[in-house]
Amino acid sequence: MSTDFPLYDTSEEHRAVREAVRALCDAKVAPYAAEVDEQARFPQEAADALLAADFHAPHVPEEYGGAGADALATVIVIEEVARADVSASLIPAVNKLGSLPVQIAGSEELKKHYLGALARGEGGFSYCLSEPEAGSDAVSMRTRAVRDGDGWVLDGVKRWITNAGVSEYYTVLAVTDPEKRSKGISAFVVEKSDPGVSFGAPEKKLGIKGSPTREVYLDKVRIPADRMIGAEGTGFATAMKTLDHTRVTIAAQAVGVAQGALDHALAYAKERRQFGKPIADFQGLQFMLADMGMKVEAARQMTYAAAGRSERGDADLTFFGAAAKCFASDVAMEVTTNAVQVLGGYGYTRDYPLERMMRDAKITQIYEGTNQVQRIVMARQLLAGVQSSI
């Protein structure tokens, strides 16, 4: 696939990916979305369908048994799944988030083992950075990794871990030298089956109820030394580089849920009649729909531009990743809220998917760095002269 993405859907291959994922989601994801939300259960139907179609972790390179999708194709997969169910879209999104540190900095043996296992569907991959006292200030983490002979022993608690308990593999950030701050943090692969690994109760959340969020407890978890990702002390740098890439996938989620809400609002506006005509004929509503469509498309273009930079590893990816995530998630919150308004009282009920989409959209403004943090990131890039004008 081309790595130059000035506009979206520029290749037949990308269009084919969109068509395939949309068909799969219409048949095997969307029909279960309301039930998944209502019961706060993992979307197993979606997980099985995505795995069968090789969309569960499309980013894994072909050399490790994956689909080898480029950044734009991966974004399209996540966008289309989120259009049907944001909870289900966290399957490919978090598999990328959790495994990308291995892909970026892991040894060849680590890549073959864990990326291969992910590609084969032997288990999902989660990302353990945040802690009860270290959210936006991740450098203040307290989880420790201490060298012990030919291995490392990990102790600590990780919080807000997406798909915890479902995933088999976890990228865990831990302090190996507390005197060095960010340069004293290292990354490791921990397996669900490692003795000493356990999980808290699922969080009771506003949205994305189908994606379990739990604490991960590490109680004297001993792992072999070759499970360290990259060199000692490079974990934080790898974690930040990972987020530069995966913030683009959060932007894709936001675009997807916004598009799904707009689709439902448009269909309803054309069918609902008041004062003897469809409500879509009223100019006030038309202006609202026009703004929704305009902003969704602007968010999509920014997200795809960021995907191109992710694929190429451009110097201004940090700015574009933060900008795409921030802008698209703000748009998603606005568009889903307005879509509820289009449906009026019906939009406020669970008989229609808009209230779920509105609840789900909110998290995109929070995770992988709040939008306030994204604005700090963007400002620093601008002040450093890194952001590109083209």
- 213, 161, 151: which is closest to 188 by C-alpha? 151
Phi, psi of 227 (to 5 degrees): -90, 0
Residues 135, 367: Cα–Cα separation, whole Å: 10
* Contact by Cβ (8 Å): 330, 253: no
Helix axes 317-343, 371-383, angle to 10 degrees: 140
Catalytic option among 79, 80, 355, 368: 368
Give strand pairing partners of 217. Answer: 157, 198
- 289, 287, 297, 275: which is closest to 343 by C-alpha? 289
Ranges of beta strands (E only) in the chain are 125-128, 144-148, 151-162, 169-175, 185-191, 197-199, 213-224, 228-229, 273-274, 277-278
Residue 134's alpha-carbon distances to 117, 129, 220, 234, 247, in angstroms, are: 30, 8, 20, 18, 19
Whether 133 is a known active-site residue: answer no
What angle (nearest 5°) sits at the alpha carbon of residue 355, between those of residues 352 and 356? Answer: 95
Residue type, 134: A
- Chain Cα centroid distance, residue 132: 21
The catalytic residue positions are 368
